[in-house]
Structure 1
């Protein structure tokens, strides 16, 4: 049984098509990367997966449960870490997690056992009584992952989870999540616009203008993922060979919320090998 199966999904905002006949699947224990430029349809897919939007066409199944026909059973299998943090900065790590467990209706004793387990897994046990405000960005993301895993979902959705993190924290977060896949059998869908967050062993889905333009192991895309991405999306600037400039690293004064028409990366080939 697939962890995630997307079949013939289409979605439109009036006359504008945001997703067109999208189909792909992820197996349990796999790390799937969703890559695409601004306007490709990534945000729409995330909204559909989390039921912020209702399906217009096609179906999404999470461990066999249809989001259309069995939404409660499907969403029970799903944990989510959104791009914008939703932690209460003035509560402690423990209090944030306890509040989330209560929202899920978990008995207090069971909730505390799960909190203890996840804090150990995320290497945060010694920070449980610290206010979230005192944590760095990488540790805050780990708290959010712990929170998302409290109800023991089997599919974890991370939407631009590395946004705002420094390069070392981004690298550590990626390694940590992949370890969860290997050691816990967790399936992960990781959305990004940064090529250096993709490793050769990942399943890679590339969206462009509402369409799936590629799907497969990242290692299948050749020596330079930036070049492959440019070819698949038809980016003229990249096609003329200006890969390094168009995909230049962000400076400190660049806006955190700005996406270019291409995909940004500090090292276009890092972690992607044939």
Structure 2
């Protein structure tokens, strides 16, 4: 199907993009990598009056070190996040999760910020961002503001972004020396997660000193598995202790029912996958 007619704007700076978005009004759509927007346009599930293409805004790309945090530009591709040495060293969980996103073609075009702003609860980067306490830097006509991941994701495909605002970069605290794993379950390769678990832990000897766990597709937004984290901290990293902690994974979740799974099945998946994710993280 051919998309409905729209105006096209290609700004070269963030300021130009914000002005274009404000001028276009609530019917505008922002084009980042296009992996989510283009199919929706072709199916005419959306008919925006204006498309604002961020492809020429160079300042939105790249990863930089800012002391206690990494800053990842919203237009940085999944491929570049995957291969960035700073991400591999200081935010290993992001690298592990990005490895599972779709296929190489999508990873070369899709963007880190675009995936977060799209806010699909089955998307693989929301839970890692939540687990790592990432902060979203947002630009609008009133200036810039910073929103924690826990407040950024608000509902299905809904974030705290106002109609005249853009996600410009993501600040990720450093977790140097932490071990991490992203355990994903889907029916076919390269598909969306039915359930997935983002796990990163810091060990002292054979003991788990700190843990951060978040769940993908177990609610309208990513879910922090705080009960699992609390059960892990201070425990020896044994299979028995990890299994006992993982039994709490479904607490506080509200997964949807669809053609893939019902609530009970997803909750059991969360428990099983959490055990696998933590075990794999510790083993690394």
TM-score, scaled to structure 2: 0.27
Greater RCO structure (CA 8 Å; 6+ sep): 1
TM-score, scaled to structure 1: 0.28
